[in-house]
């Protein structure tokens, strides 16, 4: 079985894409651009691609990696705006 590839080669693409989007939007859209300007089908890792690993602290201060969260049948990873709004 092959290991999950989550090295820089894998993650550079989306990172660069995000940067170019930031600059692109900043340069061409003055205020309140519509959300439809971004095609949400194409943002972030796609089906069949590995999620880049991470190491982030949880609400108790404990470091968690993606790998540590995976169950026998995987995991659900949710990105949300904020718990504070």
Partner 1 sequence: MQLVELQGRLQDLRKAGMGLAAISYDPVPTLADFAARRGITFPLLSDAGSATIRRYGILNTTIDPSNELYGYPFPGTYFVDRRGVVTSRVFEPIYQERSTISSLLVRQGRQIDAPATKVAGAHLDVTSYATDQVATLGTHFSLVLDVRPASRVHVYAPGVSGYKPVRLALNPQPGVVVRMAQFPKPEDYFFEPLNEHVPVYQRPFRIVQDVMLDPSRDGSAALKDVTTLTITGTFEYQACDDRVCFAPQSLPLSWSIGVKPLDRERAKRQEKQER
Name the residues that contact partner 1, by CB under 8 A.
Answer: 1, 4, 6, 11, 13-15, 17-19, 21-22, 24-26, 29, 31, 33-38, 40-41, 43-54, 56-61, 64, 66-67, 69-85
- CA–CA distance, 32 with 27 (Å, rounded to integer): 13
Least CB distance to partner 1 at residue 39 (A): 9
Do residues 14 and 45 make contact, with C-beta atoms less than 8 angstroms apart?
yes
Least CB distance to partner 1 at residue 4 (A): 5
Instruction: Kindly compute the dihedral angle of the four CA atoms of residues 56, 64, 81, 18, in this order, to the nearest 10 degrees.
Output: 60
């Amino acid at each position: 079985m092959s290991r999950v590839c989550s090295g820089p080669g894998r993650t550079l693409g989306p990172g660069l894409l995000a940067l170019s989007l930031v600059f692109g939007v900043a340069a061409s859209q003055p205020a309140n651009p519509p959300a439809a300007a971004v095609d949400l089908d194409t943002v972030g890792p796609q089906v069949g691609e590995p999620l880049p690993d991470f190491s982030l602290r949880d609400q108790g201060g404990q470091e968690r990696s993606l790998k540590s969260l995976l169950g026998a049948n995987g995991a659900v990873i949710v990105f949300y705006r904020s718990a504070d709004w």
